[in-house]
Amino acid sequence: MARVLVIGAGGVGRVTAIKCAQREDVFDEVMVASRTLVRCEEIAKDAPRPISVAQVDADYPENVVALIRDFRPDVLINVALPYQNLAVMRACLEEGVDYIDTAAYEAKDATGFTYKTQISEFSESYEKAGLSAVLGCGFDPGVTNVWVAYAARHLLDEIVELDIVDVNAGDNGLPFSTNFNPEVNIREVTLPARYWENGSFKEEPAFSTRWDFECPDNLGVYPVYRMYHEELEPITWHFPSIKRATFWMKFSDVYIDTLRALERCNMTSIEPVDVGGVAISPLDFLKKVLPDPGELGPKTVGKTCIGNIMTGFKDGKKKRYFIYNICDHQDAYKETGAQAVSYTAGVPPVLAAELIVKGKWKQPGVFTPEQLDPDPFMDAIGDYGLPWKLVELDS
Ligand code: NDP
């Protein structure tokens, strides 16, 4: 039995904490801690058994150290924002706690998401301390990385092409909203679209390349656009046979038009401006006036579909496979009080924590999910609420 500390109480933190509380057979004590205590208390009210709550500002390692000394977790799941990753990893190292997160560290003033900082800063020290860190273990990144490892072990001798497709076919009735943290989401989608081709990343302006993607299980056809997503980085490091890797995400016309208008007005910039003597970042301000993704649960209907199309060779023959998950917004909401985007991101790190405490993913060092054994993850993720289907496509 293990003690788990969840940091962050947004939409994803809600799902992660409630899922941990459901697994009394694995986690005998659960704590959710975040910057705003009342959000933790709201989660605790909805949990299936009593869980502890605490206030913590995780920008400072010493605060997280104090919390760890008080609660004494075996494993920590960091689902606050990527800006806190280094501070939380440092605290886990100091106190000897295994670590999981769902998004690569990014400095507030940086222009891209990369795993390099966390890996270069902590690989050696985690390995020496016998601690495990699993980075980027939500759905995408996360499950999408595991699917690549699974295909490489069971389906293909060599993977040569990878398309990761993320379609939120749900509807919340609002003209413009983001599915998760608006600041992270808007920064991610306005970056140039980078994709892997023949040994290097190529770049084009955001929303340049569109594909009308037909979702499986009669979910419909949706426009998806090429964009950069952080799992492309470690997947292409660890599977060098991949010649082309692209991430595609669905955006509606109204979403793109609104975003372009906001960009034209400089509202997506993080550079602070002086407003009556107060320095305000336009994106921070925008975040305050946009709908809170954590509150979209009751309004959102429909489903999400995330899948990997992987092409390669098996015994010299060209093969193409599609592995995907479909998740229903209202089912996710009924179970956890959060919509499917938070649900798909919040469930996988709980399974990662279980695999670490049970020794199946306990491996000293800092890893991304495609480096770990995919089999116990694939065996259990369906029972956790995220079943997957595998189909062979025409090659
Ligand atoms: P939210 O903005 O809804 O929630 C973030 C939470 O972190 C809030 O509770 C916030 O507190 C808390 N927080 C922020 N700063 C601090 C701090 N300094 N100390 C302590 N707590 C802090 O985001 P989401 O729940 O939508 O997303 C959470 C994470 O999950 C993000 O890193 C996001 O990138 C990642 N994600 C990953 C996905 C995947 O599939 N891999 C998909 C979706 C999200 P407060 O309430 O005070 O603001």
- How is 5-65 classified by DSSP, letter by letter? EEE--SHHHHHHHHHHHH-TTTEEEEEEEESSHHHHHHHHHHSSS--EEEE--TTSHHHHH
User: Residue 336: exposed, middle, or buried by beta-carbon count in 10 A (0-12, 13-18, 19+)?
Assistant: buried
Is the pLDDT reported for residue 111 higher than 70? no
- How would residue 109 be classed by pLDDT, with cut points 50, 70 and 90? low
**All residues at 6 or more sequence positions from 260 whose CB lies less than 8 Å from its CB, including other chains:** none
pLDDT tens, position by position, 325-340:
999 999 999 999 999 9
Residues with CB under 6 A from ligand 1: 8-13, 34-36, 39, 56-59, 79-82, 84, 102-103, 138-142, 180-181, 184, 293-294, 342, 345
User: For residue 73, what is the DSSP state?
Assistant: -
Instruction: List the Cα angle 124/126/131 in 5-degree steps.
Output: 150
pLDDT tens, position by position, 217-254:
999 999 999 999 999 999 999 999 999 999 999 999 99
pTM: 0.96
3-state secondary structure of 197: strand
| 92, containing H or E segment | helix 85-95
What percent of the chain has a predicted confidence (pLDDT) above 90?
89
| CA distances for 208 relative to 66, 221, 248, 279, angstroms | 47, 19, 12, 34
pLDDT at site 395: 67
Helices and strands (H and E) in the chain: how many: 14, 18
Ligand 1 centre to CA of 17 (Å) is 13
Determine the atom of ligand 1 nearest the C-alpha atom of 293.
3
3-state secondary structure of 97: coil
Strand extents, DSSP E, 291-354: 303-314, 317-328
Ligand 1 centre to CA of 180 (Å) is 8
CA distance 359 to 97: 14
For atom 9 of ligand 1, which residue has the closest CA?
A: 9
pLDDT tens, position by position, 50-75:
999 999 999 999 999 999 999 999 99
User: Residue 237: exposed, middle, or buried by beta-carbon count in 10 A (0-12, 13-18, 19+)?
Assistant: middle
- How would residue 295 be classed by pLDDT, with cut points 50, 70 and 90? confident
Is the pLDDT reported for residue 187 higher than 90? no
Determine the atom of ligand 1 nearest the C-alpha atom of 142.
41
pLDDT at site 180: 79
Which domains does the chain carry?
Answer: 2-138+343-381 (3.40.50.720), 143-336+388-393 (3.30.360.10)
